Amino acid sequence: MMPTKTRMMTGNSPLQTLLIATHNSGKLKEYQTLFANLPVQLVSLREQSIDMDVDETGTSFVENAILKARSYSQASQLLTLADDSGLEVDALDGAPGIYSARYGGVKGAAQHQYLLDQLTSVTNEAKRSARFRCVIALCDPQGRMETVDGSVEGQITFAPRGEHGFGYDPLFYLPEYDKTMAELAPSVKNQISHRAVAARALRPILAVWLGNS
């Protein structure tokens, strides 16, 4: 089924469609909040009937975000946003990095334990510094491209804490909140996350692109 170009009206002006390169409805809602009041209608891959997968063969968050944004923009012929993100641990020379989702070849609690096992010898909290990073790429069907970077600094705990969030959130401690990311209310996390930081950096760029389209 071919993707459709969705347009809605606001006042007398049509909204341009922005494809968010995800099947995750939660991520789509997060971007809808972050880009509120911009003249744009956000849609997901599922809404555009796009089921292709893009091989993330890049060696950095930037390269993978660009690969996805360019591929999905060409497939849909829509202005497209794609992101790539992960956890960087200083004591592990930046690992797991772009391999965060498949680190250790395990998932969930087993992956948490795998990461903690790599840090067994690092007993000084200050030396367990880490950051979540997100790179967002914005691409149009003509190949115009912009990227922005967002991060949030923290430390890796000695054991999981908290019930909210996903991924490494239970291991990521934020000293200024005295909580892990998984202990924060979702409304707070969505304001300070690496994706939120990157999206706020992209917002003025997106506003200019929409104004010129």
DSSP 159-202: S---SSS-TTGGGEEETTTTEEGGGS-HHHHHHHSHHHHHHHHH
Count Cβ atoms below 10 Å from residue 204 Cβ, excluding itself. 11
d(CA 107, CA 178): 26
Q: Looking at 51, 53, 55, 84, which residue is catalytic?
A: 84
Instruction: Compute φ and ψ for 36, nearest 5 degrees.
Output: -60, 145
Contact yes or no for 3/49 (Cβ under 8 A)? yes
Structure-token pair, residue 87: 């956890």
CB under 8 Å, gap of 24 or more: what pairs does 60-64 form? 60/98, 60/135, 61/85, 61/86, 61/97, 61/98, 61/133, 61/134, 61/135, 61/149, 62/135, 62/137, 62/147, 62/149, 64/98, 64/135
Contact yes or no for 185/164 (Cβ under 8 A)? yes
Is 84 an annotated catalytic residue? yes
Please identify every residue annotated as catalytic: 84
